[in-house]
Amino acid sequence: METLDQMLLSSWYDVHSSVPPNYVQLPENRPSRVVSYLHKAIPVIDLGRHDRADITNQILKASEDYGFFQVINHGVSTDLMDETLKICKEFHAMCPKEKVKECSKDPNGRCKIYTSSENYEKYAIHYWRDSLTHPCPPSGEYMQYWPQKPSNYREVVGEYTRELMKLALKILEVFCEGLGLNHGYFCGGLGENPSVFVHHYPPCPDPSLTLGLAKHRDPSIITILLQDKEVQGLQVLKDGEWIGVQPIPDAFVVNIGLLFQIISNGRLVGAEHRAVTNSSTARTSVAYFVYPSFESIIEPAQVLINANTPPIYKSMSFGEFRRNFFQKGAKIEEDLTY
């Protein structure tokens, strides 16, 4: 039986001249024609502007229309963004045994490295990626389980995730204003349990047969993604067409998660998206997921519910949602509505 370090895609991808059968997607799932970002682009929103009402309107419209937008002038330094992506690439470039060792310290298994998906053994067809993930609450309580190598990983990623928490709250405050929610609606339980996911997509012999990540909606409130500046791979589904999300220097991609779709009672769209591969260049991305505490109740916000707008979604704890999502994946959506 293969060990995890042997299973990691980065351990063996370069010794194959063709895609192994268990990584070949079914024909209906393979990458298809993509609408160029030059013809249809994800909205780009300047958070540095002084017109707060206009920023709020832009963010709400982008979230209703696409479920995705990019932000610039967001307050996170370019140097920190570059250093974070650099250290994450260095982690994935380490030898497989070292990576597994660095991610095997957490007795609860929340700080880990995996290949394809967190539920690898459940699926017969796999995805062309390796991933590192760990919680990153501002309290720093999980940092003892983070990788110690590369040597300054904890320092760099610690500073980065603290800055991302500030940015996430800034964006969520705009949503609160636009939706009429209490200003601190996402402070505390609903935003206190963020995690970071560092995805690595090595070059693939035949990208037309594979996916780095299947079509899905994130099981988060919002996700803030740091893209590799040089390599495209993220695609968003809009009106039945796949749109490539152009990497913009010093920008973050923000998307609405399924949890926020529930909280907004369907007003905001948890957009479906995927990651594709390429044959020449490795791609690394860093995703910051805003998660609630496991005890937090996920349900449509009361201020958005009335006689004319009844709740679409059921109420459940995030812990219950998380367990169901892990077991059912995208099929969980069938169980969320009345």
Which tens digits make up the pLDDT trace of 244-268? 999 999 999 999 999 999 999 999 9
Task: Write down the pLDDT at residue 139.
Answer: 83
DSSP element (H, E) containing 35: strand 34-35
- CA nearest 213: which of 195, 225, 221? 225
Structure tokens at 208: 């037309």
Q: Can you list the alpha helix ranges (DSSP code H) found in the chain?
A: 4-7, 9-12, 52-65, 78-93, 96-102, 153-179, 258-263, 318-328, 333-336
- CA nearest 89: which of 226, 206, 222, 205? 226
**Whether the predicted model's global pTM rises above the 0.75 cut:** yes
Task: Write down the pLDDT at residue 39.
Answer: 53
Going by pLDDT thresholds of 50, 70 and 90, the confidence category of residue 241 is confident
Structure tokens at 44: 């780009």
Instruction: Average the pLDDT over each of 104-113, 184-193, 224-233 and give the range with the smallest value.
Output: 184-193
Task: Write down the pLDDT at residue 223.
Answer: 98
Task: Write down the pLDDT at residue 140.
Answer: 85
| Position 36 pLDDT exceeds 90 | no
Cα–Cα dist 63/68, whole Å: 6
Q: What domains lie within the chain, and their CATH numbers?
A: 4-13+35-336 (2.60.120.330)
Q: Which residues sit opposite 75 in a β-bridge?
A: none
Task: Write down the pLDDT at residue 226.
Answer: 98
Mean pLDDT of 86-115: 96
Single-letter amino acid, residue 12: W
